[in-house]
Structures are given as C-alpha cells and as structure tokens.
Structure 1
Amino acid sequence: MKRILAMALLAFGAAGAAQACPDWRLEAAASYNLSGDQLRKAQGADVIAGGENYIWNCRGINPQSDQGAGYFTSNPDFRFFISDLERYQLVVSVISQCDSALLINTQSASWYYDDDDNGNLDPRIVLTRPISGQIDVWVGTYDGEYCDARLMLETFPR
C-alpha cells in the first residue's frame, strides 16, 4: 500500500512540475483578434510583468532568439489571433518599471525570448516573417520580481 501511495505521489509531483512552466495550451489571461492592418497603428495592453517559473528549468522551451534568465507565469498573459500578417514584420515590445523579459510562442510552434532589446532593461522581439494565426505572449521579469508593464504590438511592411 505504501508503494502505491508513493508511486501516486511521485506521478502527481511530476505532473505538477510539468505544469510549472509556460504552456501555450493553457488559457490566456486575455485574448484578442487583430489583423496586420490594424496593427499598423501600435496597440498596447497593460499587464503585471513577472512569474514564478524560471525559464531554463522548463524543458521543451528552446527560444530561436536570445537566451537569458527570466521568470514567467504558466498561462500566457495574452493570446492573439492575428490575420493577414504575411506582408508585415511584427514588433512585440514591453515598457515596464522593472527589468522585464518577453517570451513568445508563434503559430509555427517557435519560441522567442528577449530581455533588453527595447532599451531601459525592456524587451523587444521582431518577427520578420510571421504567419497568421495564434501567437501567445508572456511578460515576465529577469529576476522574478513583479511590476507594472505595458505590452505593445505593431506591424511594419516588409
């Protein structure tokens, strides 16, 4: 009986650990439907940057861009369904009151990370050839702190 209980606890613990990472399959805190044309004028949304999951403890997340420290929530902060992106570049950036970090999972299942490319310890990712569809975004922090932030999205013709 003890062995069965121990196995059950081990299995539950492993499942819990797997949930403690950014996961695009989880429900986002906010969802938006937009088009590449709408994003020619920058759009923004307020968010609390931060999270409890250290990104490099998460297997399966291998960003195609920068690699650095960052703490993120499990659920995406934002889920965007963006149409008509193929003729644009998509710029995703953060303006915050702390050292924020940005994590994106695109329609093509590619992960992107950035820490400081927007200046002032804020992140910025430019998707040069995005495809229309679902884009999940997490706004975290470099050091695990929490702060007020604003996520910005804007498109530019290629």
Structure 2
Amino acid sequence: MKTLVAAAALTLCAGAAHACPDFSYSGYGISASGSQLYSASTYQVIAGGSSDLAACGFSGYGFVAVAPDFELYYSQDGAYDLTFRLNTACDSILLINDPNGNWWWDDDSNGNLDASINVGRGVDGTYDIWVGTVGAGTCDASITFETF
C-alpha cells in the first residue's frame, strides 16, 4: 500500500505535545547518482522510533524517529527510476520526504511485511528517509537504494 502524503502533515505537528518527523534534522548522509545506484547500495539501520505518524497528522501509520535515518543527496544523470526498499525483522514502514517537499509512505509493497517506494524518475536533491515500524517497537533492518 503506497501513499503520497500531503506536505501539510508537518504543520499539524507544530502544536503537538510530542515530536514528529522533522526533515530539518540530519540523517546519515549518502551522495549518489542514478548511474551509481544502478548497482544497488544497502545500509543497516534500526527501524522504529517514538514518533507516531497518526498522531502527527499523516495519513499513514507507524513509528519513526524524529530525525531521518538517512539523507540521500541524489543527482539524476540518466533516465532512471529511483526505488527504496526495506528488508526487516518486523512489520516495517517507509517514510520519505522528496526534494520537492512531497511525502511518500508505504507499508508492505516489498512483501514479507516490508516496505518499498518507487518515486519514479528521481529528481536532483535531498531525499530524507525514515525507516519505521508498524508497532511501537524497534527491529533490525536494511534499506536498499537502487535505480532501474
């Protein structure tokens, strides 16, 4: 189930008593071009966090950290589709804020309760990426960035 979430969701968090995902914080920085990601790159991460997306006004659900787990500095140097996919030890979700300010969310598109998002033809800029869980716990995970 893939969803493009309205960018207004963050403004709903401003008055909330708890912290919501905030792309102004930094995640682990990765720089890559479309041609470089034609060979997939995979990174280890702990999925989950204390930010409840439903309480933050997102149409998706799940729990993520306040700061993004990753910041992908991407340059499109060809006609590539950009895909993010998870492999986790739990029921995972993926939340992405793209360079145009659009929010993307997914739950199970990669099968086995793992998330996957294809943003289509990637655009130049920073993708803020949160690896989350459906429930309030955490689990071991890996995320793969790849172009096709």
TM > 0.5: yes
Query: Percent identity between the aligned chains?
Result: 42
Which of 53, 56, 63 is 1:55 aligned to?
53
Give the alignment's TM-score, normalised by structure 1.
Answer: 0.80
Which residue does 2:132 correspond to in 1? 140
Q: What does residue range 54-73 of structure 1 map to in structure 2 within 5 Å?
A: 54-59=52-57, 61=58, 67-73=59-65
Which residue does 2:80 correspond to in 1? 88
Which of 100, 105, 108 is 1:108 aligned to?
100
Q: How many Å apart are 1:85 and its aligned residue?
A: 5.3
Which residue does 1:152 correspond to in 2? 144
Measure, in 2, the Cα distance between the counterparts of 1:134 and 1:101: 20
One-letter amino acid of the structure 2 residue matched with residue 155 of structure 1: T
One-letter amino acid of the structure 2 residue matched with residue 36 of structure 1: G
Which residue does 2:66 correspond to in 1? 74
Q: How many Å apart are 1:72 and its aligned residue?
A: 0.7
Measure, in 1, the Cα distance between the counterparts of 2:136 and 2:32: 30
Contact 1:104 1:138 in 2 (8 A): yes
Alignment deviations for residues 85-143 of structure 1 (CA, whole Å, 9 cap, x no partner): 56211110000000011000000000000010000000000111321110010000001
**Structure 1 spans left out of the alignment, 5+ residues:** 1-13, 62-66
One-letter amino acid of the structure 2 residue matched with residue 49 of structure 1: A
More strand by share: 2
Measure, in 2, the Cα distance between the counterparts of 1:54 and 1:115: 14
Contact 2:42 2:144 in 1 (8 A): yes
Give the alignment's TM-score, normalised by structure 2.
Answer: 0.85
Q: How many Å apart are 1:144 and its aligned residue?
A: 1.4
Which residue does 1:26 correspond to in 2? 25
| 1:92/1:85 CA distance change after superposition, 3 Å | farther
More helix by share: 1
Measure, in 1, the Cα distance between the counterparts of 2:70 and 2:17: 21
Q: How many Å apart are 1:18 and its aligned residue?
A: 6.6
Which of 41, 44, 63 is 2:42 aligned to?
44
Question: CA-atom RMSD, angstroms?
Answer: 1.8
Contact 1:31 1:79 in 2 (8 A): yes
Q: How many Å apart are 1:17 and its aligned residue?
A: 3.7
